[in-house]
Amino acid sequence: MEIRYKSTRNEKDTVTASQAILQGLAKDGGLFVPTAIPTLDVSLDKLATMSYQEVAYEVLKLFLTDYTEAELKHCINSAYDEKFDVKEIAPLKKADGAYYLELFHGATIAFKDMALSILPHLLTTAAKKNQNEGEIVILTATSGDTGKAALAGFADVPGTRIIVFYPKNGVSRIQEKQMVTQKGANTHVIGITGNFDDAQTGVKQMFGNEELKERMAKAGFCFSSANSINIGRLVPQVAYYVYAYTRLLADGTLKAGEEMNVTVPTGNFGNILAAYYAKLMGTPIGKLICASNDNKVLYDFFETGTYDRNREFILTTSPSMDILISSNLERLIYMIAGCDAAKTTELMNSLKTTGKYTITDEMKARLADFTGGYSTEAQTAEAIKSLYEKTGYVMDTHTAVAAHVYNEYRKATGDDRVTVIASTASPYKFTRSVMGAIDAKYESWSDFDLVDELSRIAGVKVPNAIEEIRTAPVLHNTVCETEKMQAEVEKFLGL
């Protein structure tokens, strides 16, 4: 069955998967969604015998139907290779009764690698398929992890350039160091004086700027996005939920047909939406537990049906979740509105003009698979410390937000189904916060002394991504005001 893509804000026009990946965002500002969610056509038992790459193929082939088998397998095998430091790509670790799905074994040690190691291949293949001759300019806003993962994925890829905007004061020191030391003549990294939402809004504005696009086209450039608004980010993420389920099936933790719950530390709502797609494809998933930090706009939304971004933006120790405008929620809104583009447009316009919207009762009833929770800074730190003391397992701050929310959910509901917690970053990426949570004595230690100490107490080798930045020179030091983002892009492209 051919799957096409349409905008959440327009009923009529559809494009192929490769065109949707090339465009990133739809022209009307909506997000591309598949016209139908395909169902898995291989049994879970069979998938349980397959490798990560094989499972990924079984998922991707159903969504990206205009790619040939050879193209998809090439993309998959180029992405999920030795860049990952474990053969399983996404291993599960059991600790204190939950299953941590470690999605951070790629080149930049955050779960963004799961999608961003394949996106450049999907995109360059899409350009070929669509006779797109211009140079592709990847424009990306990052709350810290997407930026580095996208830079690593696109660095020196012929026919592409990549520009990353990050909030200068909103990322961890290791995250910043990873980005500003990025090599590759086609890379450009810029700190902005605003927060992540400002960066994301600035990028979306450039996507919607027809005058800018025309000038770019004349100069031989076209924009695409590496943010999770790109369907080419979302689809590869579905694979690891199918993979996780089938591993638990293979080792007997789950019986055939038995449901597992999923808890996801959430920011832009891409990762948890991928879990929902996995469920809709036929993976037996029960509850989708959406975990937020102090920026708990999603928790409030699931509780009340009102999405309201009019609140203080709080900087936390889980910076990749410091977001008040969760872009991918629009895809869920569209689904629960019964694929009603007019209704989705109305709500998104309301978000733009008033900063909030309220869904109907009928829409709210369709959210029964989801539940929200949040973790304060103190609770997140406590979750890290107590899991470490109980089991020796050290998790990062984002994963800890999810662990806390999961523990509270389980206590409150008694729902003790097997639960997978999406472990979205290596603790090495947030060493200072992680070690500070374990023992206050670490506060005065230097960044790399903390790295070595973490290795000692966790018994985990320091990942290459960290070894690389110990001595790497800073190659990017541009900082600009939010209003100047477009000017920076024009300068880099020589427009």
Catalytic residue set: 112
Nearest distance in Å: CB 371, ligand PLP? 16
**Interface positions with ligand PLP (CB under 6 A):** 110-112, 145, 228, 265-271, 320-321, 398, 424-425
Q: Which is nearer to ligand PLP, 125 or 292 (CB)?
A: 292
Could you give the CA distance from residue 261 to residue 310 in angstroms, rounded to a whole number?
31
- Starting at the edge strand found earlier in the chain, the sheet holding 14-15 runs 14-15, 5-7, 32-34
Q: How many CB atoms lie within 10 A of CB 364?
A: 15
Nearest distance in Å: CB 310, ligand PLP? 21
Q: Which is nearer to ligand PLP, 206 or 421 (CB)?
A: 421
Residue owning tokens 């590869």: 236
Nearest distance in Å: CB 216, ligand PLP? 27
Buried b (16+ CB within 10 A) or exposed e, 81-94: eebbeeeebbbbee
Nearest distance in Å: CB 228, ligand PLP? 5
Torsion sign, CA atoms 336, 339, 342, 348: positive
Nearest distance in Å: CB 316, ligand PLP? 11
Q: Which is nearer to ligand PLP, 67 or 409 (CB)?
A: 409
Q: How many CB atoms lie within 10 A of CB 202?
A: 22
Spatial neighbors of 19 by CB under 8 A, at least 6 apart, are 5, 126, 130
In angstroms, the first-to-last Cα distance of the chain is 43
Q: Which two tokens stand for residue 465?
A: 């991504």
Nearest distance in Å: CB 112, ligand PLP? 5
Q: Which is nearer to ligand PLP, 67 or 241 (CB)?
A: 241
Q: Which two tokens stand for residue 273?
A: 């939406």
Q: Which two tokens stand for residue 96?
A: 């204190």
Nearest distance in Å: CB 211, ligand PLP? 30
Q: Which is nearer to ligand PLP, 110 or 480 (CB)?
A: 110
Q: Which is nearer to ligand PLP, 269 or 277 (CB)?
A: 269
Nearest distance in Å: CB 377, ligand PLP? 15
